[in-house]
């Protein structure tokens, strides 16, 4: 088996808090055999990777890259939202790889933005993208991921690696102050991710029900969404409205920090589930509600990303960049 930097196929994975998405890159940007595995079904990341490779007849792979919903600092990885913990180097050896690159999952999502087709994006407000300005990539899922793309002089972009989902939540109105107090009593520190995630949708509903003296149990993000959109529950509809307003606040905060005049890209599995509602939800009004900077934010387009696997494509770009640097 050749281990040269230009060797294919390459093993790519986008590993979130719930699912591990694996794919085989057989040529630059060409993915095959994409499969989604439930993280809870495997004791370790090595078990999941070996299961995937076995399911596609164990191809010879020298280079791999994993995008992880977790900070990537040093060799040891402790996943934030599930039980996997591992050494990158030990994992590389266990899988008999020459290269194993580990990066943050939203860094991969950011790189993947460059591969999207027009039909994989739905614009929600704003006008035209500014040229040569940063892009914000943000998305609620099992957690809240945040990254950005910073333009370089040669026309390329550098993707940021950060943990913006864990910034402190700043309430906007009395209802959000109530939510903050409820979450603080339960968790201590209240991050943006506490509300902008699947479990966050349930937490908002729980806090609202508590305020009204309503007992609820066994609520799920899917059930809240279904009852909100079908008109079966005014409380679920209010939950969804508040979720979108909080997302508007956090996205606009991040857009101001980055100066993201090239657009805001909403990734993750939650928003596409209620896309038609989201287009007319309170999100955009709150996104633009920034006092002296209303007009600045009003021009910034927001795109809902409909592509299924931008993270896998993005981690492939990161791996190619890494191998090129190693070969210089």
Note whether residue 281 is domain-resident: yes
Whether residue 220 sits in one domain with residue 154: yes
Exposed, middle or buried: residue 322 (CB in 10 Å: 0-12, 13-18, 19+)? middle
Whether residue 140 sits in one domain with residue 285: yes
Domain that holds residue 263: 117-306
Whether residue 140 sits in one domain with residue 262: yes
Token pair listed for 85: 């913990």
CA 51 to chain CA centroid, Å, is 24
Q: CA end-to-end span of the chain, whole Å?
A: 22
Whether residue 127 sits in one domain with residue 104: no
Q: Is 48 annotated as a binding residue?
A: no
Separation CA 245–CA 233 (nearest Å): 19
Other Cβ atoms less than 10 A from the Cβ of 305: the count is: 21
Q: Is 17 annotated as a binding residue?
A: yes
Whether residue 266 sits in one domain with residue 176: yes
Number of domains in the chain: 2
Which conformational region is residue 286 in: left (phi greater than 0), alpha (psi within -120 to 50 degrees), or beta? alpha
Whether residue 243 sits in one domain with residue 101: no
Q: Is 14 annotated as a binding residue?
A: yes
Separation CA 130–CA 167 (nearest Å): 27
Determine the pLDDT at residue 232.
Answer: 95
Whether residue 321 sits in one domain with residue 248: no
**Dihedral (CA of 190, 195, 198, 199) sign:** positive
Token pair listed for 193: 């991710």
Closest CA to 202 of 184, 222, 178, 185: 222
Proportion of the chain in helix, strand, coil states, percent, rounded to 5: 45, 20, 35
Token pair listed for 321: 């960049």
Determine the pLDDT at residue 139.
Answer: 94
Q: Is 23 annotated as a binding residue?
A: no
Whether residue 177 sits in one domain with residue 273: yes
pLDDT tens across the length of the chain (328 residues): 556 777 899 999 999 888 999 999 999 989 999 999 999 999 999 999 999 999 999 999 999 999 998 889 999 999 887 889 999 999 999 999 999 999 999 999 999 998 899 999 999 999 878 788 999 999 999 899 999 999 998 888 899 988 999 999 999 999 999 999 999 999 999 999 999 999 999 999 999 999 999 998 889 999 999 999 999 999 999 999 999 999 999 999 999 999 999 999 999 889 999 999 999 999 999 999 999 999 999 999 999 999 989 999 999 999 999 998 876 5
Q: Is 164 annotated as a binding residue?
A: no
Determine the pLDDT at residue 120.
Answer: 95
Q: Is 155 annotated as a binding residue?
A: no
Q: What angle do CA 179, 180, 184 make, to 5 degrees?
A: 120
Whether residue 44 sits in one domain with residue 100: yes
Determine the pLDDT at residue 93.
Answer: 97
Separation CA 256–CA 289 (nearest Å): 12
Determine the pLDDT at residue 310.
Answer: 93
Separation CA 180–CA 171 (nearest Å): 7
Separation CA 182–CA 297 (nearest Å): 30
What is the model's pTM?
A: 0.91
Whether residue 81 sits in one domain with residue 162: no
Tell me the backbone φ, ψ of residue 205, rounded to 5 degrees: -60, -40
Note whether residue 1 is domain-resident: no
Whether residue 140 sits in one domain with residue 87: no
């Amino acid at each position: 088996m050749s281990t040269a930097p230009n060797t294919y196929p390459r093993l790519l994975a986008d590993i979130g808090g719930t699912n591990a998405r694996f794919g085989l890159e057989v040529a630059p940007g060409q993915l095959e055999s994409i499969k989604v595995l439930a993280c809870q079904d495997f004791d370790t990341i090595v078990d999941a990777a070996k299961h995937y490779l076995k399911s596609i007849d164990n191809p010879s792979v020298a280079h791999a890259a994993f995008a992880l919903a977790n900070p990537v600092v040093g060799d040891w990885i402790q996943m934030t939202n599930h039980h996997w913990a591992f050494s990158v180097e030990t994992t590389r050896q266990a899988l008999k790889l020459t290269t194993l690159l580990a990066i943050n999952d939203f860094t991969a999502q950011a790189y993947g933005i460059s591969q999207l087709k027009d039909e994989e994006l739905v614009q929600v407000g704003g006008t035209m993208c500014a040229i040569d300005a940063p892009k914000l990539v943000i998305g609620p899922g099992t957690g809240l991921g945040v990254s950005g793309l910073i333009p370089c002089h040669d026309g390329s972009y550098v993707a940021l690696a950060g943990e913006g989902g864990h910034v402190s939540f700043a309430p906007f109105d009395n209802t959000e102050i109530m939510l903050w107090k409820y979450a603080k009593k339960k968790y201590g520190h209240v991050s943006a991710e506490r509300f902008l995630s699947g479990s966050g949708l349930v937490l908002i509903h729980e806090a609202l029900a508590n305020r009204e003296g309503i007992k609820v149990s066994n609520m799920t993000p899917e059930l809240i969404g279904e009852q909100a959109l079908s008109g079966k529950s005014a409380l679920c509809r209010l939950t969804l409205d508040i979720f979108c307003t909080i997302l508007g606040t956090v996205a606009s905060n991040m857009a101001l920090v980055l100066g993201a005049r090239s657009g805001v890209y909403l990734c993750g599995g939650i928003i596409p589930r209620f896309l038609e509602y989201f287009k007319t939800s309170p999100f955009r009004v709150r996104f633009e509600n920034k006092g002296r900077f209303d007009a600045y934010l009003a021009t910034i387009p927001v795109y809902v990303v409909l592509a299924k696997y931008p993270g896998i494509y993005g981690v492939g770009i990161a791996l190619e960049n890494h191998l090129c640097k190693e070969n210089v």
